[in-house]
Structure 1
Amino acid sequence: MKNSTRLTINPHFHAECLADARQHWSVPAGYHQLDIFEMIWIKEGRGTMMVDLEKRPITDNTLYCLFPGQIHRMAAEQDLVGYKIAFSGDFLSAGNAAHQLPAALNYPGRGERIQVMRLNSEVQPEIEEVVRTIVWEYANDQQLKADMLHGLLRILIAYFSRRGTYDLRAPGNDEMVFSRFMNMLDRDFRSQKQVSAYAADMAVTSNYLSEVVKRVSGYSASHHIQQRILLEAKRKAITTRSSMKTIGLELGFDDSSTFSKFFKTKTGVNFSDFRSGWVHA
């Protein structure tokens, strides 16, 4: 494990009991956009969780995994009992860019989906011991604190990966190409909207990239590009008061009419109606 002086905690890591975070849950009509990962374990409680455009009921003994960039709103019908652990990809990899994210936190599968795992009575005591230790270590200043939190976090995610519906085999060449494309797309979708641009950055042909993406995901590379742009447009419509023109410019559209046409074609409703419907939902 790396020396603790190379690992920093804030703002890359945070852990707390939900009782301590209660004031953050019910901001009226408010969505919070994540810039790091969050794992939320609801031991007891009822309510609803909205992540991007997906709504899920809050149930006992459920672990939710949320990704950077996603927007979410939690509405609790009663006090929630559980834990929240937030962390950056850099903290998880200990600052080593060569380390890949585990299957539970990597493409494919990100986007509008909520990653959820039900915790049965067999695994719950094991996971709770790890989580309670994480919360204690975070709240106390002990030697090698960052290293301890890093190791415990990787153990927790290993549980999530092992018991989720993830293929834990070493990825084949197609899966590696697809994962690289999707991560590049997540980074560059505002400025690069052509398959050829991503293919050039990956030193492959456009035809090869398109064929691989279609084999792995069932959808074309251009479809993924359009859906990533659309997802960000929806997020900004819900979480900001920026005008349609401003959002279009931020997403790389030269004029508002082109963005407006794109949005309506892909969603079936115009931008203002979409925003009004979700903000007041």
Structure 2
Amino acid sequence: MQIPTATHNFPIYHLEPDETGNQHFRVYNFTGTLPQQTELLIPHRKDHFLIVLVRKAGTRQWIDLEPFILKDNTVYFSGPENIIVKEEFKELWSTGLAFTSSFVSLHGGEALLSLPLIQNVQNGHELLLSEKDLGFIEDLLLKINAEYQQPNEWQQRMLMAYLSLLLTYLSKLYTEQFKVSDCVGDQIILKKFHAKIDECFQQCHEVGDYASMLNISAGHLSELVKTQSGKPAIKHIHDRLVLEARRLLFHTAKSSKEIAYDLGFSDASYFNRFFKRETSTTPAGYRNQIREMYH
């Protein structure tokens, strides 16, 4: 089932209930062929998190404008905010876990939603595995598969326990591969700032707006963000606007004026100047460049 978003018309695919009626956690196993899900060939979002161990593949997919040629024995992950496009369907050997934030919260795992893998401030979607990592993850997925196939009164708690271990282990790999330090103190505020930007970037373009949401002064937020990330707070807001503009220019046929309106700009000419200042090219120029490159 797909439901268009209110502003951008990217379909959102919900996590379909499994045979037991569970709408918040699913395990997918593919051993060669794939179902013909042609709707995945168009840009879309999911309303859940997806973690996939690819054992053997070779096809390409896009996550937020970045192409990934799927590698063997590699973990790929995405969240509800990401736009995904698959280029084609080929044979695939993989195990995937799909789960909602509600599943995590319902079973007392709210803290897991703050893990580096889930927050994904580096916008990384691929984890390379050593033989040791692969063995650990394969063993854990076997346990999850076995539990998933045996519904009982303890199943959901057991799945949550295994998921907690998996997310923690993958977050450790994430911090190693993407050079992220532990999320304490000011970094927690930085992550909350990013979360608020994702939630409100269409309506709120000023640092003061987000400082009010976080109950701190604009000056303190600016100083904290610059110290933790190396770039000004306003730059984070602008980068998010540019990312969404690029998504719309690449994935839709909307005009610059329509995109400007979607992103909360009242003046299309100002949006064009903003985009050129941030990217050194106009929206029309970017659209032509990216489509020539990838089509």
- Alignment partner of 2:204: what SS? coil
- Alignment partner of 2:61: what SS? strand
Q: Deviations over 1:151-184 (max 9, x none)?
A: 2211211221233325897644221221221111
Distance in 2, matches of 1:171 and 1:271, equals 36
Written as runs of structure 1 = structure 2, the 5 A alignment for 1:66-105 is 66-75=78-87, 78-94=90-106, 99=111, 100-105=113-118
Residue of structure 2 in register with 1:149 after alignment: 159
Distance in 2, matches of 1:42 and 1:25, equals 20
2:200 is aligned with what amino acid? D
- Alignment partner of 1:55: what SS? strand
Judge conservation of contact 2:34–2:92 (CA < 8 Å) in 1. no
1:52 to 61, 64, 69: 64
Give how far 1:96 is off. 5.7
Structure-1-length-normalised TM-score: 0.82
Structure-2-length-normalised TM-score: 0.78
Q: Unaligned regions of 5+ residues in structure 1, if any?
A: 1-7
Written as runs of structure 1 = structure 2, the 5 A alignment for 1:5-84 is 9-10=22-23, 12-19=24-31, 21-24=34-37, 30-75=42-87, 78-84=90-96
Residue of structure 2 in register with 1:247 after alignment: 259
- Alignment partner of 1:93: what SS? helix
Written as runs of structure 1 = structure 2, the 5 A alignment for 1:76-225 is 78-94=90-106, 99=111, 100-106=113-119, 108-109=121-122, 113-138=123-148, 141-165=151-175, 171-225=183-237
Distance in 2, matches of 1:164 and 1:27, equals 26
Identity in percent: 26
Q: Is 188-197 or 116-125 further displaced after alignment?
A: 116-125
Judge conservation of contact 1:89–1:101 (CA < 8 Å) in 2. no
Count of matched residue positions in the alignment of Structure 1 and Structure 2 = 269
Distance in 2, matches of 1:175 and 1:156, equals 23
Q: Unaligned regions of 5+ residues in structure 2, if any?
A: 1-20
Distance in 2, matches of 1:189 and 1:84, equals 31
Q: Is 143-152 or 248-257 further displaced after alignment?
A: 143-152
CA pair 9-247 structure 1, distance change in 2 beyond 3 A: farther
Give how far 1:63 is off. 0.4
Written as runs of structure 1 = structure 2, the 5 A alignment for 1:261-276 is 261-276=273-288
Distance in 1, matches of 2:52 and 2:38, equals 12
- Alignment partner of 1:122: what SS? helix
Q: Larger RCO: Structure 1 or Structure 2 (Cα < 8 Å, ≥ 6 residues apart)?
A: 1
Judge conservation of contact 2:27–2:95 (CA < 8 Å) in 1. yes
Judge conservation of contact 2:104–2:110 (CA < 8 Å) in 1. no
Distance in 2, matches of 1:161 and 1:250, equals 34
Distance in 2, matches of 1:272 and 1:140, equals 54
Judge conservation of contact 1:104–1:157 (CA < 8 Å) in 2. yes
Q: Deviations over 1:218-242 (max 9, x none)?
A: 0100000000111112223333343
1:34 is aligned with what amino acid? K
Give how far 1:42 is off. 0.9
Supply the RMSD in Å over aligned alpha carbons: 2.9
- Alignment partner of 1:142: what SS? coil
Distance in 2, matches of 1:142 and 1:235, equals 43
Give how far 1:97 is off. 8.8
